Amino acid sequence: MSVLLDLIYLLATLIASPWVVYRLIVRGDRRSLAARFGAGLGDAVHGSIWLHGSSAGEIALLVPLVDRLERSGVTNPMVISAYSATGYSAARKAFPGR
């Protein structure tokens, strides 16, 4: 059964690949694709706090959390990440320099 499932995934990947490449070229998402795979990340810092929001709404919910963490004396470096393009834009606006 797992071999059949592997073949189905392989076939789906082969069929979807041209469409994905087309969308990346047409929409200009090449840079965001590289970022989604970790390009441009610095070295990991021990003790970092990773906060992730999938969308702009979830990023907005992180703002009071980060404020509260900072007010409570947390000095660990914080890494903010987002999945969607709008979430990424919201994170860059809400947390400049992180």
| Burial category of 44 from C-beta neighbours within 10 Å (exposed 0-12, middle 13-18, buried 19 and up) | exposed
Angle separating helix axes 56-71 and 85-94, nearest 10 degrees: 30
**Paired tokens of 52:** 């992730």
* Residue scoring higher pLDDT (5 or 22): 5
Whole-prediction pTM: 0.62
Tell me the backbone φ, ψ of residue 18, rounded to 5 degrees.
-60, -40
User: Please, what is the average pLDDT of the chain?
Assistant: 85
Q: For 6-53, how does the pLDDT look when each residue is reduced to its tens digit (9 = 90+)?
A: 999 999 999 998 887 787 777 765 556 666 666 767 777 888 999 999
Q: For 18-27, how does the pLDDT look when each residue is reduced to its tens digit (9 = 90+)?
A: 887 787 777 7
Determine the pLDDT at residue 76. 92
CB atoms near residue 62 (< 10 Å): 21
pLDDT higher than threshold 90 for residue 70: yes
Positions of E strands within the chain: 49-53, 78-82
Q: Which residue has 């059964």 as its token pair?
A: 1
Determine the pLDDT at residue 36. 66
Q: Are 82 and 52 in contact (CB under 8 A)?
A: yes
